[in-house]
Structures are given as structure tokens and as C-alpha cells.
Structure 1
Amino acid sequence: MIFRQLFDSVSGTYTYLVASRKGGEALIIDPVLEKVDRYLKLVEELDLKLVKAVDTHLHADHITGLGALRDRTHCVTVMGEQTLADVVSMRVTEGDRVAIEGLSLDVLYTPGHTDDSYSFLMNGRVFTGDTLLIRGTGRTDFQNGNPLQQYDSIFNKLLKLPDETLVYPAHDYKGDTVSTIGEEKRFNPRLKVRSADEYADLMNNLKLPNPKMMDVAVPANIHIGLHQDEIARKGWAVSAAEVLALSGRPDIAIVDLREKGEREKHGTIPGSLHAPYPDLQENISTGGMLHELAEATGKRIVFYCAFGERSAMAVQAAQDAGLASACHIEGGIDAWKKANGPVIR
């Protein structure tokens, strides 16, 4: 396995790059905007393909690199389903898995620092975001933070992991790089409390100043979505209501770009084909399934995904590949459901 821990000294942020092998798919956790060039250089040096970028929560002390990485690599952006971010490609919740070739991360919902805080467990490592830090815990006094929720996240989820589990937080300000669950149980002063109420009292009286970047970072990180307006201006977007009216026509092929797990959990549009986003280039190239479907039968390809981000990227790629009739459902299956479109499971 390839594992790299990267550091932004300005915000004290740790970013993690993981892959199962050289030449394989890679995933990045908590990227910082100013470091995107460095990440992409490292991805190139290690002969990797970045396919997913994950934020553990909506950060207040730096601007995320999710949007820039998506724009430059066409990777899938991932956050928890509670996030206020306007558009991310994939929203996850407790019990889901974030998978790439050869690796998967188990998703743990660990609110408290914010209400959209998640941790990710992988091969004896847990990426804890700002929920559990090395000899500390994330503050709980803004962004719908809640010390009682954080107590539950830490004591009833994270500290239930095996003692040897390596703890990789999103931040450190003292120079520590890694800990273990066992170490934090023994030595973390924030965890030397006898009850949830005592922990809440401790956290409610920290009296910390707001992060210097908070007023800039939070609004910027909410608006990271791939703006679908440009795709619409080019005439490559259709509304869910329009697709409802077209549904069942023989000259329309509705194509679902989501992963198998998303389809099983959230359902599919009846009659849609499954062509996962990671296989897009192969499918739209000459000889590929979607290219042949459009060219040989004259069908119009209508892409959709969860919220329209992957499908917007897909329709641009399809147009570039010569599939001039390709379009996508603006807002994805989320918009389809809001338009009372039928869903099968």
C-alpha cells in the first residue's frame, strides 16, 4: 500500500494520500487548496490516478482543495450527507464504504466538532478529522458543534476501536504526526472525564478565538460545487421534469453513472443503464459501449448521478468525444426524486 501524510504549515492541516499500488487508483483526504499543485505532482511521481477526494467535514481554517482537484483530475468529491457544501459528487453516511481499486474506507459518523464530521477507518488506521486529535479534541463551539455529540462519537465509537488502531487527525499544532487509540485513552487530557456532562462543561469553557480564516473559509467551502450553469448554457442539461416526459421513448438512453452501492441504497431511474463514472472514458471512446449506442442506434445519451456533478463532467467529456447529443439531468437523481420521478430498487 502507498500511504503519504502531507502537511500545510499555515493551517496545521494534515492531508493523506492512499493507494493500493503504484500505477493504481488513489484517494486523498482533507486536501488544502494552496497545496493542490504539490498533491498532483506527487500523484504523478507515484504513477497514480486520483479518483476520489474526501473532506472529513466542512473546514473553517482553510479552503478545501476538493473543487480544484475535481476540476483538474475529474475525481469524485466525497463528504458526509449532512454537509452544507452546495454540491459534492457523493454524500456518505454511517455504514457506507468509500472504495477505490484495492482499498475501501469504512464510514463512521462522528459529529460534535461540526454536525457533518466523519471519520474513515482503513486497514488499522482511522482518519479522525477534527473529532479526535492527538492529545486533544476538536472544538465544539461553532458550525452546529455539540460537546455531548462529540463525547458520544469519541467514547462510543472511536475509543471502541482496537487499542493498536493508528490515529491520523486532520490537524496538529505541536508537531505530532500519529497516535493510537490506546495512547489517547491513556494520555489525552480531554478524555479524563467521568461523564458526558463533565466533558460538555470542559468544552463549553475553552474560550478559544475563532479561526483566522473562518469568515473566508466557511463560505468558500460551502460553494465548492461544479457550477452546472455553464453546461446548461451550452444546451447540454435537461430538467428532471423534462426527462420524465421523455422517459420510455426509444430514442433516449438514460445512463446512471453512480457506483453499485449508491444504486442499491438510493434506487435507480427505471430503465436506466449502468455505466459507472470511473469507466466513462472507455465507454465514450470509439468502440466503447456508450459511443456505439449513440452512433449505431442514434439514441440520445442522458447521464445522471447523485446531484449532477459527475454527470456534468461526463457530458462535457462526451461532447469532447463527439457525442453531440449527450446531455445530463441537472441535479441528478436528487432532483428526479423531488420531481416525483419513479425510483426502483
Structure 2
Amino acid sequence: MIFRQLFDQTSGTYSYLLASRAGGEALIIDPVLEKVDRYLTLMRELDLRLVKAVDTHLHADHITGLGALRDHTQCITVMGEQTKADVVSMRLSDGDKLTVEGLSLDVIYTPGHTDDSYSFVLPDRVFTGDTLLIRGTGRTDFQNGDPRQQYDSIFGRLLRLPERTLVYPAHDYKGDTVSTIGEEKAHNPRLQVKSVEEYVELMNNLKLANPKMMDVAVPANMTIGLHQEEVARQGWSVGVTEALVFAGNPEVAFIDLREHAERERYGIIPGSLHVPYPALKDHIAEGGMLHDLARRKGKQLLFYCAYGERSAMAVQAAQDAALRLARHLEGGIAAWTSAGGPIER
């Protein structure tokens, strides 16, 4: 496995780049906007293709690199389903898998620092965001934080992992880079409590100043979405009302860009073809299935995803490949379902 721990000194943020092999797909966890050029250079040097950019939670101390990485690489942006961010390509839930080629991370909902905090687990390591830090825990006094929830997340979920599990947090301010679950159980001063009430009392009396960038970072991190209005101005969008009329039309091919787990959980538009977004490039190239449908058979391609971000990027890519009959469903299957569109499970 290719693994890199990257550090932003200004905010004390750790970002993590993971891939199973050189020349393969990669994901990055908790990227920082100011370090995006560094990430892109590293991925070129390691011959990696960024497929997913992930935030463990809505950060308050730095501006996320999710949007910039998406704009540079057309990667999928990922957060938990509770996020207040306007649009992310994929929203995860407890028990899901976060996958790229050759890697699969277990998704654990670990609220407390914020109400949208998640941790991601590989067999030998866990990425804990700000929930569990090295010899500390994330503060719980803003963004719907809750010390009782954090206690449950830490003691009920994270500390039940094997003690040899490596702990990689989103922040450190003392120079530590990694710990283990066993070390934190034994030496983390905030975990030496005898009850949830004692932990709540401890966290409620930290009296910490707000992060310096909080007033800037939180609003910025809530508006990372790709502006589908620009795609609409090009005439490449279809509203849900029009899309409902297209359902069952043999001249229109609905193309589902989501992953298998999303399709299983939320259902599909009946009759749609499945082309996972990371595989799109091959399908729209000459000789690909979608290229053949649009150019040889004259079918209109109607892309859809969860909320419209992946499909907006897909329709741009299809138009760039001269597939002029490509459109996308504004708002994705979420809008379709809200409008009462038929769903097949």
C-alpha cells in the first residue's frame, strides 16, 4: 500500500494519501486548500489518479481542499450524510465502505467533536479525524458538539478496536505523528475517567478560545459544491419534471454514476444503466459503450448520481468528448425521489 502522511504547519492538520499500487486509484483524507498543489505534485510523482477526496468532518480551523481537488482532478468529494456542506458527491453512513481500487475502509460514525464526525478503519489503522487525538480528544463546544456522544464514540467504538491499531488523527500540535489504540487507552489523560459524567464534566470545562480561522473556515467549508447552475447555463441540464417525462422513453438512456452500495441503499431509476463515475472516461471514449449509444445509436444520455455533482462533471466530460446529446439530472436521485419519481430496488 502507498501511504503518505502530510502536514500543514499553519493549522496543525494531517492529511493522508492512500493507494494500493503505483499507477492506481488514490484517495486523500482531510486535505487542506493551501496544500493542494503539493498533493497534485505528489500524485504525479507517484503516478496516482485521485478518485476520492474525503473530509472526516466540517473543519473549523482550515479551509478544506475538497473543492479545489475536485476542480483539478474531477474526483468524487466525500463526507458523512450529516454534513452541512452544500453539495458533496457522495455521503457516507455508519457501516458503509469507503473504497478505491484495492482498498476498502470501514466507515464509523463517531459524533461528538461535531455532529458530522466520521472515522475510517483499515485492518491495521484508523483515521480518527478530531474525535480521538494523540493524548487528547477533539473539543465538543461548537458545531453541535456533544461530550456525551464523543464519549460513546470513543469508548463504545474506537477503543474497541484491537490495541495494536495505529491511530492517525486529523490534527496534532505537539509533533506526534501516530499512536495506537493501546497507547491511548493507557496514556491519554482525557480517557482516564471513570464514567461518562466525569468525561462530560471534563470537556465542558476546557474553556478554550475559538479556532482563529473559525469565522472564515466554517462558511467556506459549507459551500464546496460544484455550481450546477453553470452546467444549466450551457443547456446541459434536465430538471426533474422533464426527466419524469423521459422515463421509459427508448430514445433516452438513464446512466447511474453511483457506486453499488448507494444503489442498494437508495434504489435506482428503473431501466437505468450502471456506469460508476470512476469508469466514465473509458465509456465515453471512442469504442466505449456510452460513446456507441450516443454517436451510433443516437440516444440521449441522461446522467444522474446522488445530488447532481458527479453527473454535472460527467456531462461536461461527455460534451468535451463531442457527445452532444448528453445531459444530466439536476439534483440527482434525491430530487427525483422528492418529486415522487419511480424507484426500483
Compute the TM-score of the two structures, normalised by the length of structure 1. 0.99
Q: 2: CA distance between counterparts of 1:210 and 1:149?
A: 21
Aligned to 1:93: 93
Does structure 1 residue 214 correspond to structure 2 residue 206?
no
How many angstroms does 1:319 deviate by?
Answer: 0.4
Which residue of 2 is the match for residue 237 of structure 1? 237
Please list the CA deviations of residues 151-202 of structure 1 after superposition, one character each: whole Å capped at 9, or x if unmatched: 0000000000000000000000000000000000000000011111110110
Q: In structure 2, how many angstroms separate the alpha carbons of the residues matched to 1:302 and 1:212?
A: 44
Once residues 320 and 175 of structure 1 are traced to their aligned partners in structure 2, the CA distance between those partners, rounded to angstroms, is 46
Aligned length: 345
Aligned to 1:334: 334
1:1-345 equivalent positions in 2, closer than 5 A: 1-345=1-345
How many percent of aligned residue pairs carry the same amino acid? 74
Cα shift at 1:261: 1.2
- In the alignment, the residues of structure 2 paired with residue 28 and residue 195 of structure 1 have an alpha-carbon distance, to the nearest angstrom, of 36
Write the letter of the residue equivalent to 2:44: E
> SS in structure 2 opposite 1:50?
strand
Q: What amino acid sits opposite 1:274 in the alignment?
A: H
Counterparts of 1:138 and 1:257, CA distance in 2: 35
The one-letter amino acid of 1:199's match is: Y
- Cα separation, 2, equivalents of 1:279 and 1:202: 49
Query: RMSD of the alignment, in Å?
Result: 0.6
> How far is 1:112 from its partner?
0.1
Deviations 1:191-221 (A, max 9, x none): 0111111101100000000000000000000
SS in 1 for 2:47: coil
- Name the amino acid aligned to 1:287: G
In 2, Cα distance between equivalents of 1:117 and 1:174: 23
User: Structure 1: how far apart are the matches of 2:183 and 2:137?
Assistant: 14
Give the match's secondary structure for 2:265.
Answer: helix
**Distance apart, 1:260 and its partner CA:** 1.1
CA deviation map 1:283-317 (0-9, x unaligned): 11111100100112211000000110100000000
Per mean C-alpha deviation after superposition, the further-off stretch among 26-35 and 260-269 is 260-269
* CA distance, structure 1, for counterparts of residue 241 and residue 194 of structure 2: 55
CA distance in 1, matches of 2:205, 2:111: 19
Structure 2 SS opposite 1:312: helix
Deviation at 1:236, TM superposition (A): 0.4
Which ranges of structure 2 fall in alignment gaps of 5 or more residues?
Answer: none
User: How far apart, in 2, do the equivalents of 1:207 and 1:276 lie?
Assistant: 47
Secondary structure in structure 1 of the residue aligned to 2:162: coil
- For the residue of structure 1 that corresponds to 2:61, the secondary structure is coil
Q: 5+ residue gaps in structure 1?
A: none
Question: What is the CA–CA distance in structure 2 between the aligned matches of 1:51 and 1:294, rounded to whole Å?
Answer: 25
Q: Name the SS of the counterpart of 2:183 in structure 1.
A: helix
Structure 1 SS opposite 2:303? strand
Distance 2:26 2:206 in 1: 38
Question: Aligned partner of 2:247: which letter?
Answer: S
Per the alignment, in what secondary structure is the counterpart of residue 105 of structure 1?
Answer: strand
Deviation at 1:246, TM superposition (A): 1.5
CA distance in 1, matches of 2:339, 2:242: 10
Task: Output one character per residue of 1:113-164: Cα deviation in whole Å (capped at 9) or x when no partner.
Answer: 0000000001310000000000000000000000000000000000000000
Rounded Cα–Cα distance in structure 2 between residues aligned with 1:53 and 1:38: 15
Question: Whole-Å Cα distance in 2 between the matches of residues 233 and 65 of structure 1?
Answer: 26
- 2 CA distance for matches of 1:283 and 1:259? 16
Give TM-score, length-normalised by structure 2: 0.99
Amino acid at match of 1:25: E
Q: Which amino acid aligns with 1:276?
A: P
The residue type paired with residue 331 of structure 2 is: G
